[in-house]
Amino acid sequence: MNKAIISTDQAPAAIGTYSQAVKVGTAVYLSGQIPLVPATMTMVSDDFAEQTHQVFKNLSAVCEAAGGQLQDMVKVNIFLTDLSNFAIVNEIMSQYFRTPYPARAAIGVKELPKGSQIEIDGIMELPSTN
């Protein structure tokens, strides 16, 4: 198995023992992103919508560093500290993805790192080079 570690300064640096993403073949496994601003490593704001936009920006940066784009994601897991925000996630997600949409799960959790209200991870499949 040939693993490539993906890293970019356009997304928050890892704050633990993990990589931003790991590429194996054409599959890229993206670690969870929270709404940290990469340049400052601080939370973008306390506003849920702003946090959600920042998470998608961070995911986009990691996808691009791996040679793909957000639209190449085939699976996303969304972790929310308040499931009543799910409608907002749907509205914002529609601004970043077009059909066909990735498979998705939404999970309610008690808390997330650094007091974040949302975290998203997922799997991206890079386009074929054939």
SS (H, E, C) 72-129: HEEEEEEEECCHHHHHHHHHHHHHHCCCCCCEEEEEECCCCHHHCCEEEEEEEECCCC
Closest Cα to residue 34, out of 94, 119, 96, 105? 119
**Omega before 100 within 30 of 0, i.e. cis:** yes
Backbone angles phi, psi at 55, to 5 degrees: -60, -45
130 confidence band (pLDDT: 50, 70, 90): very low
Tell me the mean pLDDT in the region 98-106.
96
Averaged pLDDT of the chain: 96
Q: 90: which residues sit within 8 A by CB, 6+ positions away?
A: none
Give the range among 9-18, 43-52, 83-92, 121-130 with minimum mean pLDDT.
Answer: 121-130
| The token pair that represents 92 in the structure block | 């914002």
Burial group, residue 43, by CB count within 10 angstroms (0-12, 13-18, 19+): middle
CB 125 within 8 A of CB 27: yes
Q: Per the structure block, which two tokens stand in for 38? A: 């990469």
SS3 at position 45: coil
